[in-house]
Amino acid sequence: MPPKALFLGIDLGTSGVRVGALDENGRRYALVGRRWPVGHAMDPFAWLRLTLDLVCMLCRKAPGIPVEAIAVDGTSGTVLICAQSSGRPVTPVLPYNDARAVLEAQEVSASGVPAGPAFGAHGGIAKLLWLERHYPTTRQTRALPQSAWLTGALLGQFEYCDEHNAMKLGFDGAWHESLGRLGLRARLPEVVKPGTVLGYLKKPLVRRLKLPYAPLIISGTTDSIAALLALGPLAPGTGVTSLGSTLVLKLASPRPVVAPEYGIYSHKLDKVWLAGGASNSGGAVLAHYFDAPTLARLSTEIPVDRPTHLHYYPLIGRGERFPINDPLLAPRLAPRPADDRLFLQGLLEGLAEIEARGYALLAEYGAPRIKAVITTGGGAHNGAWRAIRERILAVPVTNVTAQSAALGAARLAQQGADIPRARTRDRIATGSDFPLDRSARIH
């Protein structure tokens, strides 16, 4: 039987956008995606345009099946400033791995803002200061992370940000008074819990998508947390490595772990804390040297059980944030063997060594030692990479290629929409505003 309703998750990734759908029983119904057009990965209008194209594509696969709710995840630390009323960007987007705001990071450190994940040149506060100084504006504006902007574009109001994404902007239960001294407080959004009902998809988009009624818009989360939601409950000591364009580690811990000097922070998820950090290294380095067919072919030919001892530190350019926090760190990619198979193996070993160093650092600061690692992201398809990582990490490594952060966001949408249907259906049909639950407001 076809599903009675769908819950959609939108995943804004480094390489493209994906839309996942779950049915009313939480089962995967569909997953569609598209890569960003060249030069448009940091274009907010491309985020919206491709998202709507994919939702249209998904709805054509499910004619007559209503969409009940939508939630968005995005890359943590990717920020922009937009007009408060229309959402039109008034600055460029600075991505999560942008480290140009070195001087601003020093000013943030001296301002009295408590240490946390927003610190450093990669943190959202320094990026917002940089944007303010290079793109001054007198209009009423709002500073938003990536997923909060797209959520606002769907909702028709650019007012809210989920707590997980707000952490990279300096939120720690409240906006610190030092942000006012830096001139940023008035631009910062209202923070709500992930999974909060914010309102309905705005009417022009309901008509454009030819939906029978307006879905609920649910506050989202970061891409790494969404990927974990797709996996289900995690036992303490379970690591989750996302092998995308960058390398993101999360480790299930019974307690929060915070080490701002290394970009380590923790999110609460169900009954555990997820301690982790994100490296600038990752699959983008592989893509820089090898196209996809060559990478796939060479991966089957490398001797994964014989180490190269090259000890590379693979980076595209200068700068690292975790497990080394050094905005000037240079890549280490020499010597390069004449045999491309050995060069690729050295890159994969270097990535695995960064991963091992990251998990060891999390354990040093109070997280459990890893007992097993689950792998998500595009790199999870690479069997040679998995074998090398298992040798270097010395724990079982499982690749989960059928899951997606989009499906985790869809799960969050379903959880957020778990409200009495009879009480909301009339409001949904008319498209009237939904009263935001005051208990969901954090600050």
Has residue 50 been placed in a domain?
yes
Nearest alpha-carbon partner for 29 in 51, 56, 5 = 5
Strand partners, 321: none
- Per-residue pLDDT tens for 200-249? 999 999 999 999 899 999 999 998 889 888 888 889 999 999 888 889 99
The mean-pLDDT minimum among 58-72, 153-167, 256-270 falls in 256-270
Same domain, yes or no: 347 and 431:
no
Same domain, yes or no: 44 and 140:
yes
Has residue 82 been placed in a domain?
yes
Give the DSSP letter of residue 247: E
Q: What is the pTM of this model?
A: 0.77
Give the DSSP letter of residue 316: S
Same domain, yes or no: 143 and 29:
yes
Same domain, yes or no: 236 and 220:
no
What's the chain's length in residues?
A: 443
Give the pair of three-digit tokens for residue 363: 């354990």
Same domain, yes or no: 24 and 171:
yes
Give the pair of three-digit tokens for residue 344: 């690729």
Q: Tell me which residue range forms the domain holding 128.
A: 6-224+404-440
**CB 228, CB 271: distance < 8 Å:** no
Q: Tokens 């001294």 identify what position?
A: 181
Has residue 1 been placed in a domain?
no
CATH code of the domain in which 428 resides: 3.30.420.40
Q: How far apart are CA 364 and CA 354, in angstroms?
A: 15
Please give the distance of CA 170 from its chain centroid, rounded to a whole number.
17
**CB 313, CB 281: distance < 8 Å:** yes
Same domain, yes or no: 206 and 281:
no
- Structural domains counted in the chain: 2
Peptide bond into 335 cis (omega under 30): yes
Helices vs. strands in the chain: H and E counts, helices first: 14, 16
Same domain, yes or no: 205 and 275:
no
Q: What is the mean pLDDT of residues 173-181?
A: 85
Has residue 30 been placed in a domain?
yes
Q: DSSP letter string over 178-210? A: HHHHTT-GGGPPEEE-TT-EEEE--HHHHHHHT
Report the DSSP pairing between strands 6-12 and 16-23: antiparallel
Same domain, yes or no: 138 and 255:
no
Residue 166 has pLDDT above 70, yes or no: yes
Same domain, yes or no: 264 and 279:
yes
- Per-residue pLDDT tens for 35-84? 999 999 999 999 999 999 999 999 888 888 999 999 999 998 999 999 99
Same domain, yes or no: 49 and 175:
yes
Nearest alpha-carbon partner for 426 in 205, 200, 157 = 200
Q: How far apart are CA 233 and CA 40, in angstroms?
A: 35
Same domain, yes or no: 13 and 116:
yes
pLDDT of residue 440: 56
